[in-house]
Amino acid sequence: MEAVGTLILTMFFTSGSSNVILLGLWITNIFMWKISGSHFNPAVTFAYIFRRDESKMHWKIAVSYIVAQCLGAFVGALLVNFYTFDL
């Protein structure tokens, strides 16, 4: 879910319209919050490693989240370039 959410978010951010970005962020957060926490950013996931409460993440899960987020952002950027014929 982190890879798909980051992919969708990357594609929305390239639109340049603030309304599209906010609507895309809101929709992806609504659908993916209960499943994976909808971090969609490796910095947020990295911060969850060092939390001191019950929502602290184990470092092995956090590394898998970060890898999935980077992969999703890369594929999202490739898809945007493909659809805009910049490839």
Q: Provide the pLDDT for residue 67.
A: 94
Residue 19: predicted pLDDT: 85
Give the per-residue pLDDT at 87.
56
Q: What are the boundaries of each domain within the chain?
A: 2-83
pLDDT tens digits along 39-78: 888 888 898 889 888 878 889 999 999 999 999 999 998 9
How many CA atoms lie less than 13 Å away from 79 in the CB half-sphere? 17
Phi, psi of 66 (to 5 degrees): -65, -40
Which of the four pLDDT bands, split at 50, 70 and 90, describes residue 14?
confident
Separation of alpha carbons 82 and 87, rounded Å: 6
Reduced DSSP (H G I as helix, E B as strand, rest coil) percent helix, strand, coil of the chain, to 5: 75, 0, 25
| Two tokens, residue 54 | 């019950």
pLDDT of residue 9: 85
